[in-house]
């Protein structure tokens, strides 16, 4: 999941899955074979060699960028390697599969590599950048292209914005051929490569639209030289993220979800319809509403501590959800205190209070707990907490509650 | 006065027979809102009854408008059918369509937004929003117009306009005002989705033009650049004091795989950028969410 806005989430898929989707919409991709075990690596590498490629590229499949420059916890350098022989490819695979890769995007914990993508070594002549996403400023799809592919594209955008070509697409008609031609021309493609580029760009846009993608990004999109000396354009690397809200109509894409790439607590939370995202702080929070949940994290930081998580129990939280939320929070060993912030607009504060008392008893909670209840039936709710015989600190306002929990944790 | 809806605005509910729509139709009737019609395809001719009020149900929005004179609608239909419901409301010539539904695919909203381009008649609020409340004069603001899911009783009739992307954070601000004896002209939840019908700026313009609104609270979140645009306009045009809060200072920047989002936003969208834009526009920034009301009241 991507923390985009408070209520809008995206699902990521692997590079090899992204290319499967792109190929379906007519985008040229290199000869590539995924392998989930060492036994699958050799036949895949043999197949690629048999197709005429002298080199075999072995690519770790994780949901994070910076793989090429990453380091395995074993000390092995590089999550993407070019092998000169089948044996060398198998050797690389042994060092990668089942090992944890740390890149600039994974954090120190890294990610376990459970799938490799074996690809034909390409003779790269030119590298481009191509992406499709929603431009929130005008609610229209936007295709972005640049001749500066294979580089840090954010840096290119900052220093040379003129090198990023942008074309908005009218969703009523979709991408028109002339627009794909404009983009291909902006990339400087000529002759057969121009026509191949137009087809590829159209396919990339259609993948974005038809799959309900949040973003499709090719970096690089490359001109490569084939064994016979001819040149062609292919999607050499591809990233796709998808709109969570649209997955209900894409069973095939939903099946691509890799739970190994998601935090176990977040998966557990989603079973109870709880929006939970683990963070690095020590104060756990349990809040109703995404905006209020973010604001609660902010006020914890303002009081000098750090939030341990984002947790939105939703507008109509039940006793069971509150109980599940407590159990999830308490599985994080860094948590030193808990702040519950509920604005019970429609929901009954007493139902929430009853849920809190039950959860505290059930989990045998020893950590400081501060509860701020406001809204519907709040007096009964506060009474339930006060008469529970449990050590629950009451906060009057958000600020008061945040100060109290920070203070309790420091004692 | 107020903006967008008045206490006597005639409201219809699309999806009135679903559990979510029914519950909130009941609460709106309890609040004293004129719920004049319901729409559920296939249930036309039946009635929705609550608290002695008998609300006729129609198969189409067009029929409901023709028979009852409703000018606003609350959309409670499930995500797969919500885009259709919104455009049906626009087709029937409603002034206001408030889409409460959470979880509508972005692509559907891109199409809806495109279809509504150039439509000067119908304003869409939402989706994924708590709706809109113009408080009434009765006890606990009874007798007002409540379209959506906001708790009515936290409001109080008065002169502060509230506009926000987040539901419970809106309630928090409204409650802070009411607890201090300060009422609201109208409170608008515009929703947190990447594509929505009405922006912060649209609502601020309405508040600025409303003689009954004397001050404005604007609540934003990380993502997009709507708050920055509104701040720019406020700086040049707004004659009323505006206070604001941006949620998400501590939200992680995202476990994003690609870079395209960062390029297109060009540095906008972070909490820091939004707060800086507020300050540059003379908007009072609440340092914590507990100070939203006090920040505004100090400016007035």
Assess whether B136 and B120 both reside in one domain.
Answer: no
Query: What residues make up the domain containing A51?
Result: 32-120
- The CATH number assigned to the domain holding A159 equals 3.30.470.20
Assess whether A163 and A242 both reside in one domain.
Answer: yes
Provide ipTM, 2 decimals. Answer: 0.91
Residue stretches of chain A with pLDDT short of 70: 1-8
Of B125, B146, B179, the residue that ends a domain is B125
Assess whether B19 and B67 both reside in one domain.
Answer: yes
Say what the pLDDT of residue A289 is. 86
Assess whether A100 and A144 both reside in one domain.
Answer: no
- The CATH number assigned to the domain holding B22 equals 3.40.50.720
Q: Is A48 inside a domain boundary?
A: yes
Number of Cα atoms under 13 Å in the Cβ half of residue A181? 4
Say what the pLDDT of residue A170 is. 98
Assess whether A294 and A235 both reside in one domain.
Answer: no
The Cα of A243 is separated from the nearest Cα of chain B by a number of Å equal to: 7
Assess whether B291 and B155 both reside in one domain.
Answer: yes
Q: Which of A129, A205, A261, A276 is the catalytic position?
A: A129
* A-B C-beta contacts closer than 8 Å: 233
**Nearest CB neighbour to B168, from listed A131, A154, A292:** A292
Q: Is A3 inside a domain boundary?
A: no
Assess whether B71 and B166 both reside in one domain.
Answer: no
Say what the pLDDT of residue A8 is. 55
Assess whether B119 and B245 both reside in one domain.
Answer: no
**Nearest CB neighbour to B168, from listed A277, A301, A343:** A343
Interchain proximity B263–A164, CB inside 8 Å: yes
**Nearest CB neighbour to B254, from listed A3, A65, A346:** A3
Domain count, chain A: 3
Q: Is B228 on the interface with A (CB under 8 A)?
A: no
Assess whether A72 and A161 both reside in one domain.
Answer: no
- C-alpha A20: how far from chain center: 19
Show which of residues 321-350 on chain A sit within 8 Å of chain B, judged by CB atoms: 343, 345-346
Show which of residues 261-300 on chain A sit within 8 Å of chain B, judged by CB atoms: 277, 279, 287-292, 294-300
Interchain proximity B192–A290, CB inside 8 Å: yes
- The CATH number assigned to the domain holding B158 equals 3.40.50.261
Assess whether B291 and B181 both reside in one domain.
Answer: yes
- The CATH number assigned to the domain holding A44 equals 3.30.1490.20
Q: Is B32 inside a domain boundary?
A: yes
Show which of residues 69-128 on chain B sit within 8 Å of chain A, judged by CB atoms: 79-80, 102-111, 113-115, 128
Of A88, A120, A152, the residue that ends a domain is A120
Neighbour-count burial for A312-325, b at 16+ CB within 10 Å, e otherwise: bbbbebbbebbbbb
Sort B291 into a burial class: Cβ within 10 Å, 0-12 / 13-18 / 19+: buried
Domain count, chain B: 2
Assess whether A379 and A270 both reside in one domain.
Answer: yes
Q: Is B165 on the interface with A (CB under 8 A)?
A: yes
For residue B24, indicate whether it is catalytic.
Answer: no
Q: Which of B24, B50, B159, B259 is the catalytic position?
A: B259
Collapsing DSSP to helix, strand or coil, A319 comes out as helix
Of A97, A120, A143, the residue that ends a domain is A120
Q: Is A109 on the interface with B (CB under 8 A)?
A: no
Q: Is A5 inside a domain boundary?
A: no
Q: What pLDDT, in 10s, does the model give residues A53-92?
A: 889 999 999 998 889 999 999 999 999 999 999 999 999 9
Of B69, B102, B125, the residue that ends a domain is B125
Of A120, A135, A151, the residue that ends a domain is A120
Say what the pLDDT of residue B261 is. 60
Query: Residue A181 is encoded by which pair of tokens?
Result: 């031609």
Assess whether B100 and B162 both reside in one domain.
Answer: no
Assess whether B135 and B40 both reside in one domain.
Answer: no
Q: Is B3 inside a domain boundary?
A: no
Assess whether A138 and A233 both reside in one domain.
Answer: yes
Per-residue model confidence as pLDDT tens for chain B (300 residues): 799 999 999 999 999 999 999 999 999 999 999 999 999 999 999 999 999 999 999 999 999 999 999 999 999 999 999 999 999 999 999 999 999 999 999 999 999 999 999 999 999 999 999 999 999 999 999 999 999 999 999 999 999 999 999 888 999 999 999 999 999 999 999 998 889 999 999 999 999 999 999 999 999 988 888 899 999 999 999 999 999 999 988 877 654 445 666 555 666 678 899 999 999 999 999 999 999 999 999 999
Q: Is A1 inside a domain boundary?
A: no
**CB distance B61 to B91 below 8 Å:** yes
Assess whether A18 and A51 both reside in one domain.
Answer: no
Assess whether A38 and A116 both reside in one domain.
Answer: yes
Query: What residues make up the domain containing B200?
Result: 131-299
Give the separation between CA B285 and CA B268, rounded to whole angstroms. Answer: 18
Assess whether B90 and B226 both reside in one domain.
Answer: no
Q: Is A4 inside a domain boundary?
A: no
Say what the pLDDT of residue A3 is. 41
Collapsing DSSP to helix, strand or coil, B174 comes out as helix
């Amino acid at each position: 999941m991507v923390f985009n806005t408070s209520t809008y989430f995206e699902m990521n898929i692997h590079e090899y899955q992204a290319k499967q989707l792109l190929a379906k919409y007519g985008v040229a991709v290199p000869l590539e074979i995924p392998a989930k075990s060492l036994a699958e690596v050799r036949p895949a590498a043999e197949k690629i060699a048999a197709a005429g490629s002298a080199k075999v590229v072995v690519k770790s499949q994780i949901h994070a960028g910076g793989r090429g420059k990453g380091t395995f916890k074993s000390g092995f350098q590089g999550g993407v390697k070019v092998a000169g022989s089948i044996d060398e490819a198998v050797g690389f695979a042994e060092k990668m599969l089942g090992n944890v890769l740390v890149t600039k995007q994974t954090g120190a914990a890294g990610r376990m590599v459970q799938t490799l993508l074996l690809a034909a070594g390409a003779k790269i002549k030119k590298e481009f950048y191509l992406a499709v996403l929603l431009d929130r400023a005008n609610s229209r799809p936007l295709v972005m292209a640049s001749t500066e592919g294979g580089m840090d594209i954010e840096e290119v955008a900052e220093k040379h914005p003129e090198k990023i070509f942008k074309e908005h697409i009218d969703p009523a008609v979709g991408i028109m051929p002339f627009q794909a031609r404009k983009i291909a021309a902006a990339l400087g493609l000529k002759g057969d490569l121009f026509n191949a580029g137009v087809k590829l760009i159209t396919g990339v846009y259609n993948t974005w639209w038809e799959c309900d993608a949040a973003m499709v990004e090719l970096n690089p999109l490359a001109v490569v030289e084939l064994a016979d000396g001819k040149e062609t354009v292919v999607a050499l690397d591809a990233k796709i993220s998808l709109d969570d809200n649209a997955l209900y109509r894409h069973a095939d894409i939903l099946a691509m979800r890799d739970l190994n790439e998601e935090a176990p607590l977040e998966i557990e939370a989603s079973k109870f319809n709880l929006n939970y995202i683990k963070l690095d702080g020590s104060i756990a929070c349990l809040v109703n509403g995404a905006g209020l949940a973010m604001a609660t994290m902010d006020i914890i930081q303002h009081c000098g501590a750090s939030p341990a998580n984002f947790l939105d129990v939703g507008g109509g939280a039940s006793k069971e959800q509150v109980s599940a939320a407590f159990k999830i929070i308490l599985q994080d060993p860094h948590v030193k205190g808990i702040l519950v912030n509920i604005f019970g607009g429609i929901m009954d504060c007493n139902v929430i209070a009853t849920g809190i008392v039950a959860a505290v008893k059930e989990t045998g909670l020893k950590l400081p707990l501060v509860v701020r209840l406001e809204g519907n039936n709040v007096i009964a709710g506060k009474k339930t907490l006060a008469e529970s015989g449990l050590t629950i600190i009451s906060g009057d306002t958000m600020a008061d509650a945040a100060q109290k929990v920070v203070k309790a944790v420091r004692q | 006065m107020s903006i967008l809806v008045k206490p006597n605005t005639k409201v219809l509910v699309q999806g009135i027979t679903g559990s979510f729509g029914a519950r909130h139709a009941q609460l709106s009737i309890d609040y004293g809102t004129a719920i004049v019609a319901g729409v559920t395809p296939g249930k036309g001719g039946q009635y929705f009854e609550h608290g002695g009020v008998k609300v006729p149900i129609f198969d189409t929005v067009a029929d409901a408008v023709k028979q009852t004179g409703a000018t606003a609608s609350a959309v409670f239909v499930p995500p797969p059918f919500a885009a259709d419901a919104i455009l049906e409301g626009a087709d029937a010539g409603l002034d206001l369509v408030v889409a409460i539904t959470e979880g509508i695919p972005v692509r559907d909203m891109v199409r809806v937004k495109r279809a509504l381009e150039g439509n000067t008649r119908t304003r869409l609020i939402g989706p994924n929003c708590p709706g809109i409340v113009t408080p009434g004069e009765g006890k606990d603001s009874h007798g007002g117009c409540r379209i959506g899911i906001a708790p009515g009783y936290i409001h109080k009739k008065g002169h502060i306009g509230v506009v926000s992307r987040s539901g419970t954070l809106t309630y928090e601000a409204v409650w802070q005002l009411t607890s201090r004896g300060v009422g609201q002209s109208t409170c608008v939840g515009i929703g947190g989705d990447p594509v929505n019908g009405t922006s912060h700026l649209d609502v601020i313009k309405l508040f600025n033009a409303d003689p009954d609104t004397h001050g404005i609270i604007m609540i934003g979140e990380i993502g997009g650049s709507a708050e920055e645009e509104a701040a720019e306009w406020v700086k040049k045009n707004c004659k009323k004091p505006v206070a604001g809060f941006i949620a998400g200072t501590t939200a992680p920047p995202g476990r994003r795989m690609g870079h395209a989002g960062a390029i297109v936003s060009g540095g906008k969208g972070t909490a820091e950028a939004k707060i800086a834009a507020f300050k540059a526009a003379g908007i009072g920034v609440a340092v914590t969410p507990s100070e939203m009301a006090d920040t505004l009241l100090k400016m007035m």
